[in-house]
Amino acid sequence: MSGAPLLQMALRVEQDIFVVRQRGREVAAAVGLEHQDQVRIATALSEVARDLLRGVGGADVFFVVVDSADGRRHLRVDLTPVAPLPGGRYEPESGAVARLVDTLGVVTDEGATVVRMSRRVPLAAEALSPERLAQLRAQLGQSAPGTAEEELATQNLQLIAALDEVRSQRDELARLNEELEQTNRGVLALYHQLTDELEETNRGVVALYAELDEKSAQLRTASESKTRFLANVSHELRAPVTAIIGLARLLADSASDPLTAEQERQVGLIRSSASDLLTLVNELLDLAKAESGRIEPNWAEVDLRAVFGQLRGTLRALRIGTEVELVVEEPPTPATVRTDEVLLAQVLRNLLHNGLKFTTAGEVRLRARRQDAGWELLVSDTGPGIPTEFQDRVFEEFYQVPGPSRVGGTGLGLPYARRLVNLLGGTLRLTSEPGRGSTFTVSLLADGT
Ligand code: ADP
């Protein structure tokens, strides 16, 4: 909407600047601009009026209310210069003037060059209906402009108010700055504290790691010494123990001098103790070898059916006359796996032996099943089972589950079996339910890696 001007006036002499300023404020108030905005637009207007009066000798001033395309309402002031602007352009003397209004610039309106400024009116459209605008037009037309002195006094008052405002804003700014500085100091202190704490923690962690490294080096050395000791001792023990067994056998031989019944019993005791000792020594030697990494698997494509068949044969011979059934299932074909046949057979024999040793009724079963990229070989029994709290410990050296089901042995079989399976790139796991039985699972990758 761009109706008839609310007010129009001529700017020709110095005094008109005051009048333009005063009327500008009146119009601004009439259309609902706030006090501060009234002062702003009046000030901008008087600055532009002064420039035009001095530059081109005056202008005609029109106050109009317009609606822009986005539905917003503006108070617009057009100043049509009485003579052409130099170069057709206008730059306010003071650059700050443009900031007092929303727009300020030179436009061409119906062939005429006009200096135009505008400020948004916050009022709702209804508040400035065409009737109301007509009313305002009539009022403004009637009211007589005041004198230059009056306008000067008003201007002074406005200046004082503006200065007050500036001062209170400056105070507020100073207060905010002070607050900001305090906050900054606080943040900085906190930051330093955190950095210090972090550094200290880091130092602690570094020290801890160093200690850990040292401890694990010590542990490695200790473990190596233990392995070396076990290997040496068991190796050294093997010859004398074998000699004791041989000698005891000689003593008990029917070709030797006859022994009394008591002597015979004692020689028998010597022989069986020496045999136990030899088993222990051999197992220790095996374990020490596996631990020191001196066992080098002999990798080959191994047919599980052959391994199973061989175990079936050798173990069946041991089982004659017992209650427990040994079942070796036929593996599903094709059943090849890349591994060391001797070591794998040793592990399975060991597990089957355990099953047969601890199971008094039911069965011991060996079976194979494909699992993702490999094989699972399961040795299960219907024996006493192993309580959960001991299921990890049975893989420790010399550990035997306490209780009535102890049947002799050294406690070295499972740790050795696990070492061998690891050497073959696999894992050995145990699941067991006391009273129902145990299952040892050897998992191997088909290609051995
Ligand atoms: P060993 O059989 O010579 O005692 P192992 O290392 O082979 O040594 O086994 C450690 C212990 O684990 C055994 O003493 C036994 O208590 C328990 N164990 C092993 N296999 C079984 C099984 N199949 N059923 C019940 N307990 C078992």
Domain CATH for 226: 1.10.287.130
Rounded Cα–Cα distance for residues 352 and 227 (Å): 27
Atom 21 (ligand 1): residue with closest C-alpha?
354
283 touches ligand 1 (CB under 6 Å): no
**Domain match, 343 and 314 both:** yes
123 pLDDT tier (thresholds 50, 70, 90):
low
380 touches ligand 1 (CB under 6 Å): no
Please give the number of the atom of ligand 1 that sits closest to the Cα of 403. Answer: 16
**Domain match, 12 and 141 both:** yes
Note the pLDDT of residue 411.
87
Atom 25 (ligand 1): residue with closest C-alpha?
385
Rounded Cα–Cα distance for residues 433 and 386 (Å): 6
51-55, 165-169, 181-185, 256-260: which range is least confident on average?
256-260
Question: Taking 80 as the threshold, does the pLDDT of residue 449 lie above it?
Answer: no
Note the pLDDT of residue 60.
95
Choice from 281, 349, 358 to test ligand 1 binding pocket (greatest atom count within 8 A of CB): 358
227 touches ligand 1 (CB under 6 Å): no
- As a whole number, mean pLDDT of residues 195-219 equals 93
152 pLDDT tier (thresholds 50, 70, 90):
confident
**Domain match, 198 and 270 both:** yes
- Residue 159 in any domain: the answer is no
Rounded Cα–Cα distance for residues 420 and 399 (Å): 18
1-10, 18-27, 164-173, 175-184: which range is least confident on average?
1-10
- As a whole number, mean pLDDT of residues 320-331 equals 85
**Domain match, 323 and 384 both:** yes
320 pLDDT tier (thresholds 50, 70, 90):
low
Q: Domain boundary at 146, 174, 204, which? A: 146
Note the pLDDT of residue 135.
85
Rounded Cα–Cα distance for residues 84 and 58 (Å): 11
Phi, psi of 5 (to 5 degrees): -60, 145
**Domain match, 346 and 222 both:** no
Q: Domain boundary at 294, 324, 350, which? A: 294
Question: Taking 60 as the threshold, does the pLDDT of residue 2 lie above it?
Answer: no
126 pLDDT tier (thresholds 50, 70, 90):
low
Return the CA Rg of the chain: 54
CA of 394 to the centre of ligand 1 (A): 7
Amino acid at 153: A
**Domain match, 123 and 187 both:** no
CA of 411 to the centre of ligand 1 (A): 7
437 touches ligand 1 (CB under 6 Å): no
Note the pLDDT of residue 1.
46
CA of 400 to the centre of ligand 1 (A): 6
Mean pLDDT of the chain: 88
Q: Are residues 416 and 434 in contact, defined by beta-carbon separation less than 8 angstroms?
A: no
Number of domains in the chain: 3
411 touches ligand 1 (CB under 6 Å): yes
Between 28 and 318, whose confidence is greater?
28
- As a whole number, mean pLDDT of residues 388-406 equals 86
CA of 398 to the centre of ligand 1 (A): 10
Please give the number of the atom of ligand 1 that sits closest to the Cα of 400. Answer: 14
**Residue 86 is part of which domain span?**
7-146
- Residue 284 in any domain: the answer is yes
CA of 439 to the centre of ligand 1 (A): 12
Note the pLDDT of residue 284.
85
Atom 8 (ligand 1): residue with closest C-alpha?
411
277-281, 365-369, 379-383: which range is least confident on average?
277-281
Question: Taking 50 as the threshold, does the pLDDT of residue 447 lie above it?
Answer: yes
**Domain match, 232 and 339 both:** no
Question: Taking 50 as the threshold, does the pLDDT of residue 328 lie above it?
Answer: yes
**Domain match, 70 and 193 both:** no
Note the pLDDT of residue 346.
93
69 pLDDT tier (thresholds 50, 70, 90):
confident
- As a whole number, mean pLDDT of residues 423-434 equals 95
Residue listed under structure tokens 């696999």: 426
CA of 397 to the centre of ligand 1 (A): 11
Please give the number of the atom of ligand 1 that sits closest to the Cα of 401. Answer: 16
**Domain match, 346 and 290 both:** no
The token pair at 339 is 């591994």
CA of 336 to the centre of ligand 1 (A): 29
- As a whole number, mean pLDDT of residues 103-115 equals 90
User: Who contacts 61 (Cβ-Cβ below 8 Å, separation ≥6)?
Assistant: 8, 9, 10, 11, 20, 45, 49, 77, 78, 79, 80
CA distances from 360 to 180, 229, 322, 327, 349 (A): 83, 37, 9, 15, 18
- Residue 160 in any domain: the answer is no
- Residue 153 in any domain: the answer is no
198-208 tens-digit pLDDT = 999 999 999 99
**Domain match, 223 and 244 both:** yes
Q: Domain boundary at 242, 271, 294, which? A: 294
CA of 214 to the centre of ligand 1 (A): 35
CA distances from 278 to 14, 71, 196 (A): 129, 106, 63
Question: Taking 80 as the threshold, does the pLDDT of residue 365 lie above it?
Answer: yes
CA of 102 to the centre of ligand 1 (A): 93
**Domain match, 308 and 282 both:** no
Question: In the chain, what percentage of residues exceed pLDDT 90?
Answer: 54
**Domain match, 268 and 327 both:** no
CATH of the domain at 396: 3.30.565.10
Between 211 and 71, whose confidence is greater?
211
- Residue 187 in any domain: the answer is yes
Atom 22 (ligand 1): residue with closest C-alpha?
355
- Residue 349 in any domain: the answer is yes
374 touches ligand 1 (CB under 6 Å): no
Q: What is the pTM of this model?
A: 0.53
Please give the number of the atom of ligand 1 that sits closest to the Cα of 384. Answer: 25
- Residue 359 in any domain: the answer is yes
Note the pLDDT of residue 387.
94
Question: Taking 50 as the threshold, does the pLDDT of residue 40 lie above it?
Answer: yes
- Residue 157 in any domain: the answer is no
401 touches ligand 1 (CB under 6 Å): yes
355 touches ligand 1 (CB under 6 Å): yes
CA of 386 to the centre of ligand 1 (A): 9
